[in-house]
Amino acid sequence: MLSFRQKPKYLIVGLGNPGREYRLTRHNVGFMAVDYLAQTAKADIRKLKFHALTGNAVIAGVPVLLMMPQTFMNLSGEAVGEAARFYKLPPERVIVIFDDADLPLGTLRVREKGSSGGHNGIKSIIAHLGSEEFPRVKIGIGPKPHPEMELADFVLQAFTAADQKVLFDRFSRVAEGVELILKGDVRLAQSRINS
């Protein structure tokens, strides 16, 4: 078990909204993925710190802090920025896992850096880190069923049981991508994970 005295070398942040009503919604796929990482690393992610639920873990031999910001999606950067400053971690040591409505359900994309792509959680993190240069794992949640539907309404919909199964089957691939990033091999993560 990792003690809180051991400084994490990376933050692994899953994006989502706090509260039971949001638990299995499309916008919370980042939380779900970090939950999966916590379970596989046998980590407890219940300590409230930096406006986030946090848990120390060792993944791929690297001490990390797992985070689920509790600020609501649009203010995610407040939690991430605070933790990064506290541990003196540069943006490239912050891995963010989040939903992408432009990707088909279950499709994964590893990116080394980039713009927010219109994602408010990422926009907030870029603002608080002062940089776009942080690695990320995007998880496809599928397109809106109707073009006229508001994106905000779509991402707050719950996944169907069938969709949940598709996603949960992908989390081992998300974990593989995260491990490769932790080993310093973002390019390999991209070639293996980007489907």
> Which residues lie across from 126 on neighbouring strands?
none
- 27 counts as catalytic: yes
* Helices 120-129, 76-86: inter-axial angle, 10-degree rounding: 30
pTM score, whole prediction: 0.94
How far is Cα 140 from Cα 22, in angstroms, rounded to an integer? Answer: 17
Instruction: For residue 143, count other CB atoms closer than 10 A to its CB.
Output: 15
Query: Cα–Cα distances in Å, from 5 out to 21, 60, 82?
Result: 34, 19, 18
Residue closest to 152 by CA, chosen among 57, 41, 74: 74
Q: Average pLDDT of each block of 10 consecutive residues along the chain (195 residues)?
A: 70 95 92 96 94 95 96 95 97 96 94 91 96 96 87 87 93 96 93 87
Q: What's the pLDDT score for residue 119? A: 92
pLDDT tens digits, one per residue of 62-104 = 999 999 999 999 999 999 999 999 999 999 999 999 999 999 9
pLDDT given at position 6: 80
- Tell me which of 27, 51, 119, 128 is the catalytic residue: 27
Tell how far CA 1 is from the center of its chain.
Answer: 23
